[in-house]
Amino acid sequence: MFKLFIVVAWMFVASQTYSARGIVKSIGADKRSITIAHEAIPGYMGAMTMSFEASAPSQLDGLAVGDHVRFAFTATDDGRRVITQIAKDAAPHFWRTIGASSGVPSTLYPWIVNVVGVTSITARLRPA
């Protein structure tokens, strides 16, 4: 019984869940994999393009190459990256409109979108 507890506890420690945003670069023909050019993932890796495994083909329904997405995945101890959640990003042009030169910390972007709304904030930040 004690050995089983140790194995189960190790399994929970061995995998980590992360979330990020990115752009879909390709989707496997069998819908079992997706390649995403993603932003830096704190505690995991810098921005790059890499493949992820879909936990079910239906997760990728409605997605196409070029879509901006938000996603969460689990990095397993055997090196797999398994998508746990994925959805189109509702405000992709918002991030491009603000840009790095706005001075708004990137950690505030989701809060601004949720509280103020994409349309009103992008209108205010657009140059005259």
* Predicted model pTM: 0.63
For residue 19, what is the domain's CATH number? 2.40.50.320
| Span 23-69, pLDDT tens digits | 999 999 999 999 999 999 999 999 999 999 999 999 999 999 999 99
What is the token pair recorded at 43? 């505690």
Going by C-beta distance under 8 Å and a sequence separation of 6 or more, which residues neighbour residue 117? none
Rounded to whole angstroms, how far apart are CA atoms 64 and 92?
14
Same domain, 51 and 113: no
What is the tally of structural domains in the chain? 2
Q: Which two tokens stand for residue 56?
A: 């079910």
71 and 110 in a single domain? The answer is: no
Query: Does residue 17 sit in the same domain as residue 60?
Result: yes
Is the per-residue pLDDT at 116 higher than 50? no
